[in-house]
C-alpha cells in the first residue's frame, strides 16, 4: 500500500500545504497574515505526524520546500519551521528579481513583519543555510504544446536534483519535471505578471525619495523624467531598492519612508499593494495505471493572476497557463488562485478540476474569496479552509477495491469524511 497524505492546514489568510509520500516530505508555502499562533499550532500538528515517517531522526526533515512567491502570507513561517528543528533539505522558488526584492522589502516594512525588515530577500533565504534552486518565469515564446504530462522519461529525481538538472530540463520545455522513486510525478513552473502602472509608480517613488534626500542635504532637486521613462523596470526597481536601504532604513527613517510610499500611492490612485505577482505553480500525481476517466492529480496555484486589474480581461499569463493546463486532464483538486481573488479567476478553470480549495482568513480586508468567483463555482465543489481548526482538509490516495490497479481519493474536511472515487 502506498502511504501518502496531503493536507491544507487551517492558518487563516495564507497557505500551508504539506505532502507525505512514504519517506518523502514536501511543503508548498508556509505563511499567514493572521495571528502567528494559528500557523504555529498547525506546524506543531504537522510535526507530530512526522516521527513515524522519518524513522525517528533527531530532526524532522522536509525534503523540498516549494515557495510559490514571496508575500508574507506565504513565507512568514519559514523561520518558524527552522525554530521547530525541521531540517529543510532544499528550497525551490521563483527567481528573485530587483522588483521582487523591492516588493518584498516594502511589504515587510508596511506589515512590520518580524521575518525581515532590515534584510533583503536573498540575504534572508541564504541565511537559512539550505540549497535553493530558483525557477525563471515562463514567457509567451516558450513552446508548451509538446509537454505531454504522461512522459516522464526526462523527469529528474526530485531528491537529488540540482541546478544543472533544472537548467537542462528547462531548456527543453520551460516546465520542470521530477519524480519520486517511480511512485510520484511532479511538474512545476513559474509565471510572472507585472501591473501596467509599475513603471510610473517607480518613477514617482524614486522622485519623492530623491526630493526628500535633497531637501535634507540642502541640494537642488532635478530628475530627468524623460531619461527615467527610458529605463527598464528592473533597473528602476533596483535604484529605488538601494535608496530605501541606504537613505532610509540605515538612518532609521521608517515612518518617513512609509509616509512617502502612501503619498505616492494616493497621488497615483493606486489601491493595490503589489506591483508584480510571481507564482510557482505545482502539479503532482501518483504514478499508477489509470483509465481515461481517472482524476488523481492536484494543482497548487499560489497567487497566480489571470485577469488585468483594470479591465478584468485575460492576461498573457492566462494564455500561457491554459496551454499547459490543457494537458492536465486528470486534476481532482485545485487550489483556487490568489485566495479566490477575482484577478486570479478565469471561467475556464471549472472544466479542469473536480474540486476547488480556497485558503483564506475569515473577515480578511481583501474580501477573499471574492463573491465574483464563488458564484461561478458549484457550492458542492468548493471546499473552504480558513483559521477554524475543523476546516483542515486531508487528501489520501487509496487502493480501489473494485480495480486494484486504480486508486480512490478520500477527502477529509474537518469532521466530514467524504470518500470519492475518480
Decide which of 60 and 146 is more confident: 60
Per-residue confidence (pLDDT) for residue 403, from 0 to 100: 47
- pLDDT tens sequence across 130-164: 899 999 888 756 655 555 544 566 788 999 887 66
Assess contact for 75 and 112: CB atoms under 8 A.
no
pTM: predicted TM-score of the whole model, two decimal places: 0.90
Return mean pLDDT, the chain.
83
- Cα separation, 306 vs 312, in Å, equals 9
Residue 29 scores a pLDDT above 90:
yes
Residue 415 scores a pLDDT above 80:
no
Residue corresponding to grid cell 479591465: 311
**Whether residue 369 has a cis bond before it, omega within 30° of 0:** yes
- Cα separation, 184 vs 332, in Å, equals 15
- Give percent of the chain above pLDDT 90: 43
Which of 183, 188, 359 is closest to 285 using CA atoms?
183
Per-residue confidence (pLDDT) for residue 172, from 0 to 100: 32
Poorest-confidence range of 129-143, 228-242, 252-266? Answer: 129-143
C-alpha 226 chain-centroid distance: 36
- Cα separation, 201 vs 267, in Å, equals 10
The kind and range of the H/E element at 282 are strand 276-286
The x, y and z cell numbers of residue 323, run together, are: 496551454
pLDDT classification of 111: cutoffs 50, 70, 90: confident
The kind and range of the H/E element at 184 are strand 184-194
- pLDDT tens sequence across 170-207: 433 468 899 999 899 999 999 888 777 899 999 999 99
Per-residue confidence (pLDDT) for residue 202, from 0 to 100: 94
Assess contact for 237 and 99: CB atoms under 8 A.
yes
- Give percent of the chain above pLDDT 70: 79
3-state per-residue secondary structure call for 314-334: ECHHHHHHHHHHCCCCCEEEE
Residue 406 scores a pLDDT above 50:
no
Residue 165 scores a pLDDT above 50:
yes
Residue 293 scores a pLDDT above 60:
no
Assess contact for 383 and 411: CB atoms under 8 A.
yes
Poorest-confidence range of 30-34, 72-76, 199-203, 247-251? Answer: 247-251
Strand duo 184-194 + 176-180: pairing: antiparallel
Decide which of 225 and 222 is more confident: 225
Give the chain's radius of gyration (CA, Å): 22
The x, y and z cell numbers of residue 94, run together, are: 521563483
Average pLDDT on 248-266 reads 89
Residue 407 scores a pLDDT above 70:
no
DSSP state of 13: S
The x, y and z cell numbers of residue 268, run together, are: 497615483
Assess contact for 294 and 328: CB atoms under 8 A.
no
Decide which of 382 and 146 is more confident: 382
- Cα separation, 332 vs 354, in Å, equals 5
Q: Residue 109, SS3? A: helix
Average pLDDT on 107-120 reads 67
Assess contact for 210 and 224: CB atoms under 8 A.
no
Per-residue confidence (pLDDT) for residue 414, from 0 to 100: 61
190 dihedral zone (left: phi>0; alpha: psi -120 to 50; beta)? beta
Q: How many CB atoms lie within 10 A of CB 226?
A: 6
Per-residue confidence (pLDDT) for residue 143, from 0 to 100: 59
Decide which of 218 and 363 is more confident: 363
Amino acid at each position: 500500500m502506498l502511504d501518502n497524505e496531503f493536507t491544507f492546514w487551517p492558518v487563516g489568510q495564507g497557505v500551508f500545504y504539506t505532502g507525505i509520500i512514504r519517506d518523502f516530505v514536501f511543503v508548498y508555502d508556509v505563511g499567514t497574515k493572521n495571528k502567528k499562533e494559528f500557523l504555529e499550532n498547525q506546524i506543531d500538528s504537522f510535526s507530530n505526524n512526522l516521527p513515524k515517517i522519518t524513522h525517528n531522526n533527531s530532526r524532522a526533515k522536509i525534503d523540498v520546500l516549494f515557495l510559490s512567491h514571496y508575500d508574507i502570507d506565504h513565507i512568514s513561517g519559514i523561520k518558524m519551521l527552522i525554530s521547530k528543528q525541521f531540517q529543510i533539505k532544499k528550497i525551490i522558488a521563483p527567481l528573485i528579481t530587483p522588483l521582487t526584492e523591492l516588493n518584498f522589502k516594502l511589504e515587510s516594512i508596511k506589515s512590520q513583519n518580524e521575518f525581515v525588515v532590515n534584510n533583503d530577500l536573498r540575504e534572508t533565504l541564504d541565511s537559512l543555510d539550505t540549497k535553493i534552486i530558483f525557477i525563471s518565469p515562463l514567457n509567451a515564446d516558450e513552446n508548451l504544446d509538446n509537454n505531454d504530462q504522461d512522459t516522464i522519461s526526462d523527469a529528474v529525481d526530485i531528491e537529488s536534483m540540482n541546478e544543472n538538472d533544472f537548467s537542462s530540463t528547462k531548456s527543453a520545455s520551460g516546465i520542470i519535471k521530477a519524480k519520486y522513486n517511480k511512485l510520484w510525478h511532479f511538474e512545476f513552473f513559474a509565471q510572472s505578471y507585472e501591473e501596467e502602472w509599475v513603471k510610473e509608480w517607480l518613477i514617482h517613488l524614486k522622485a519623492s525619495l530623491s526630493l526628500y534626500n535633497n531637501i535634507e542635504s540642502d541640494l537642488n532637486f532635478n530628475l530627468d523624467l524623460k531619461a527615467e521613462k527610458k529605463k527598464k523596470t528592473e533597473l528602476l526597481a533596483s535604484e529605488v531598492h538601494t535608496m530605501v536601504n541606504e537613505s532610509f532604513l540605515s538612518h532609521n527613517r521608517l515612518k518617513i519612508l512609509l509616509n512617502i510610499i502612501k503619498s505616492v500611492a494616493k497621488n497615483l490612485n493606486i489601491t493595490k499593494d503589489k506591483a508584480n505577482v510571481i507564482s510557482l505553480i505545482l502539479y503532482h500525481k501518483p504514478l499508477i495505471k489509470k483509465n481515461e476517466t481517472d482524476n488523481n492529480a492536484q494543482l497548487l496555484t499560489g497567487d497566480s493572476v489571470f485577469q488585468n486589474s483594470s479591465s478584468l480581461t485575460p492576461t498573457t499569463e492566462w494564455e500561457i497557463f491554459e496551454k499547459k493546463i490543457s494537458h492536465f486532464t486528470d486534476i481532482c483538486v485545485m487550489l483556487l488562485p490568489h485566495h479566490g481573488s477575482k484577478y486570479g479567476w478565469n471561467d475556464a478553470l471549472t472544466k479542469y478540476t473536480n474540486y476547488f480549495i480556497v485558503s483564506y482568513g475569515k473577515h480578511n480586508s481583501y474580501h477573499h474569496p471574492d463573491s465574483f468567483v464563488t458564484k461561478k463555482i458549484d457550492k458542492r465543489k468548493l471546499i473552504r479552509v480558513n483559521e477554524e481548526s475543523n476546516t483542515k482538509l486531508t487528501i489520501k490516495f487509496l487502493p480501489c477495491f473494485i480495480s486494484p490497479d486504480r486508486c480512490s481519493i478520500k477527502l477529509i474536511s474537518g469532521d466530514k469524511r467524504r470518500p470519492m472515487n475518480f
